[in-house]
């Protein structure tokens, strides 16, 4: 049976070895099968309580990305709570950075709130765009691998939601 979920739901992402990361559904368009998620550390053995969930904010994010909804839909990633006062403005839609393979040219990609599959706007990236999240769609395996790598690196995250809009 399909798990029900919506924007503002917190969910656990199994990392292996009895550990999980915490994710938040920040955008769920009606079509496309993609979601925008905010992902947080540190790795944990149990879901946090409601007070800890409410204390998290966009500035605390480890990774923000577009990802396939299948693991949530199938219940592999379990919903563990709700954001009590859900507002889009508290969890902004980032711009993303795409690098062309041959030329190495950097392109700033922006998606509409209700369409995470087709860019609404593409423009030449500025130097300040270098810290934007990468414009890729994560599947279940790649997202877990990326989270594990980020946790293993233990370096400060340089994502700044304040730089996502021009």
Is 69 a member of any domain? yes
Domain with 41, as residue range(s), is 9-92+136-163
What is the four-CA torsion angle of 31, 140, 67, 2, rounded to 10 degrees? 30
pTM: 0.90
Looking at the chain, the whole-number percentage of residues with pLDDT higher than 70 is: 92
**Residue 46: pLDDT band with limits 50, 70, 90:** very high
Q: What is the pLDDT of residues 123-159, one digit of tens each?
A: 999 989 988 999 999 999 999 999 999 999 876 555 5
Distance CA 147, CA 131 (A): 17
pLDDT at 159: 58
pLDDT in tens, 61-96: 999 999 999 999 999 999 999 998 899 999 999 999
As a whole number of angstroms, the distance between CA 120 and CA 124 comes to 14
Token code pair at residue 98 = 């795409």
Look over the chain and give the mean of its residue pLDDT values, rounded to a whole number: 90
Residue 158 domain flag: yes
Q: Are 165 and 128 in contact (CB under 8 A)?
A: no
Q: Is residue 79 in a domain?
A: yes
Within a domain: residue 102?
no
In a domain, 112, yes or no: no
**Quick check: is 41 in a domain?**
yes
Per the DSSP assignment, residues forming a β-bridge with 38 are 24, 64
pLDDT (0 to 100) of residue 106 = 94
The number of folded domains in the chain is 1
Residue 103 belongs to a domain: no
The mean pLDDT of 89-109, rounded to a whole number, is 92
Asked, for residue 110, whether it belongs to a domain, the answer is no
Q: Is the pLDDT of residue 32 over 90?
A: no
């Amino acid at each position: 049976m399909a798990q029900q979920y919506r924007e503002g739901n917190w969910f656990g992402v199994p990392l292996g070895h009895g550990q999980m990361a915490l994710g938040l559904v920040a955008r769920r368009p009606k079509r496309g099968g993609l979601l925008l998620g905010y992902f947080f550390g540190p790795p944990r053995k149990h879901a946090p309580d409601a007070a800890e969930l409410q204390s998290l904010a966009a500035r605390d994010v480890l990774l923000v990305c577009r990802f396939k909804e299948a693991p949530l839909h199938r219940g592999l990633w379990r919903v563990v709570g709700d954001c009590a006062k859900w507002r889009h403005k508290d969890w902004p839609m980032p711009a993303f950075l795409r690098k062309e393979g041959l030329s190495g040219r950097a392109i700033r990609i922006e998606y509409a709130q209700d369409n995470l599959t087709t860019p609404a706007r593409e423009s030449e990236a500025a130097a300040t765009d270098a810290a934007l999240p990468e414009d890729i769609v994560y599947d279940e395996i790649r997202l877990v691998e990326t989270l594990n790598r980020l946790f293993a690196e233990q370096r400060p995250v340089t994502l700044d939601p304040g730089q996502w809009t021009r």
